[in-house]
Structure 1
């Protein structure tokens, strides 16, 4: 089986650094991408370039390939590095055929697995890719998604967070007013030079919950505060404020604090749910108080 010189295919020297290999690949991938170049042989050339980059851009695969030499089929030179195990698409062991569509028999024999179908019009990384998917550099870049958990206060005030991803620590600016499910894009921090998309998720909070930009909180109040209507302190993400409770407020009533939710245009509101808490009747005089109340409100039926 014919030995493929991946360095020659990309037009780089055998000891070329990773950056040079990536630049060469981007140039050739842009030149021969089938969505751009309709000339005969362009697609096959693009497959060769993609195959070469698939190996030379991965340290483990490149080390194994560098030990081969053209006599690899005779088994004279190939000694895989300790613990080396080819892995395409995240699974352990042999490469899956669907992950290697369009690659050569040399590639298949070298890294294991059968050969599956054709390129499907794409770059041979498991499914079709359009010319635009290569982000202007025409490299096989892959956007990567991850979730990042933040406190509600981080969204309310804005914050700077450090997160670990892809073996490195990144400093991420959390903008004010970001909501759960929104994404923060970090250019060039994904796989193969793609972007990293961080999906925002809020950590559980003992007091607050968020629905969009609105913040919800439950506030306990005494029966007389509900009956007579009084001002009570209410926690918000920006600090405590006084809330005027209307007279005869019932348990479960919702009151709105305009603009006290997460920042935005417009800002969210804070929704306050009242929870009427009865004082315990443990002493005789406390029990007598409830007996007197029952007598005074004997015409009141809470189940009517």
Structure 2
């Protein structure tokens, strides 16, 4: 992502947007640009941009640092306050205009306002170089920071688990998703977080699972819910009916006298779980009638109407 691209702009929200607004915008854009849904070659890059922007703005502390320091927020030490940064930025702008004393690659004229050629280490007295407050005084090994990133899965992908390629920042990673992950679950990738300083170990990366809305399944915890259309005669007489599950087709017994709204449970056919029992699948019956009746069908329904005393509106 270009360094001057604003995370708020990517998500299409104002800078003072609430966390709910940010989450809503992210989910809408993630669904629209998910590579499994959108086959546009550019959609994957947009999805990566949206995911990176959300990973920063969804965390209050990370968002605060981004608001204060702009794209350089990951390089600014924790103990640098925004006022110090603002003063250094002013100095950097002046040095860029005068041209005297500027050296190094600098931070560029992006979000923070630094001009080409300004040396951050010079402005902050060595804080950016080995985190030294004075020459020769090392602050010692500093462990890498833990990081978070979201990954959007379909219900089928969450059910099966397995290897998946993801991009976090500029890094490509191959991760193994456990079968049966649920929305909001955190998957820890040890040692894949921020790099440590002076030989200290890196932090961990936590993947936050988000499950995209599905046209067929609804998830509650580890239980799956699905609608089961049946014919009037299957509902009245009873039948064994096929129902789709993420693991494939299964059979469910519809008892005779079943009405719309009745829930039929298939034990253990919900989301799997390691070390715990799997969820259940609930098939909710919907009695369906033909849009158009053939002549013989109409005659049979008329015969049924003539002989049946059943009145669903009569109180029992």
- Residue of structure 2 equivalent to 1:153: 156
- Residue of structure 1 equivalent to 2:57: none
The 3 A distance-change label for structure 1 pair 227 and 179 is same
Matches within 5 A, 1:23-172: 54=76, 76-78=100-102, 81=105, 84-85=108-109, 92-94=111-113, 106-107=123-124, 138-139=142-143, 141-172=144-175
- Residue of structure 1 equivalent to 2:82: none
- Residue of structure 1 equivalent to 2:255: 246
Q: CA deviation at 1:301?
A: 3.6
Within the candidate set 192, 201, 208, 1:199 is matched to 208
The 3 A distance-change label for structure 1 pair 299 and 150 is closer
- Give ranges in structure 2 of 5+ residues lacking alignment: 1-74, 78-91, 115-119, 132-139, 196-201
Matches within 5 A, 1:186-225: 186-192=189-195, 193-225=202-234
The 3 A distance-change label for structure 1 pair 225 and 85 is same
Q: In the alignment, is the contact (CA less than 8 A) between 1:281 and 1:287 conserved in 2?
A: no
Partners of 1:80 and 1:293 lie apart in 2 by: 90
Q: CA deviation at 1:144?
A: 2.1
Partners of 1:227 and 1:282 lie apart in 2 by: 19
Deviations 1:154-188 (A, max 9, x none): 33332100001120110010012211110111223
Deviations 1:32-70 (A, max 9, x none): xxxxxxxxxxxxxxxxxxxxx848xxxxxxxxxxxx9xx
So what's the TM-score if we normalise by structure 2? 0.54
Q: In the alignment, is the contact (CA less than 8 A) between 2:158 and 2:211 conserved in 1?
A: no
Partners of 1:296 and 1:137 lie apart in 2 by: 87
Partners of 2:148 and 2:100 lie apart in 1 by: 42
Q: In the alignment, is the contact (CA less than 8 A) between 1:156 and 1:237 conserved in 2?
A: yes
Within the candidate set 306, 312, 315, 1:295 is matched to 306
Give the length in aligned residue pairs: 201
Deviations 1:88-131 (A, max 9, x none): xxxx2249xxxxxxx999429x99xxxxxxxxxxx9xxxxxxxx
Is residue 176 of structure 2 the alignment partner of residue 173 of structure 1?
yes
Partners of 1:75 and 1:280 lie apart in 2 by: 79
Name the SS for the 2:245 alignment partner. Answer: coil
- Give ranges in structure 1 of 5+ residues lacking alignment: 1-52, 56-67, 87-91, 96-102, 112-122, 124-135
Is residue 296 of structure 2 the alignment partner of residue 259 of structure 1?
no
Is residue 183 of structure 2 the alignment partner of residue 183 of structure 1?
no
So what's the TM-score if we normalise by structure 1? 0.56
Provide the alpha-carbon RMSD of the alignment.
3.7
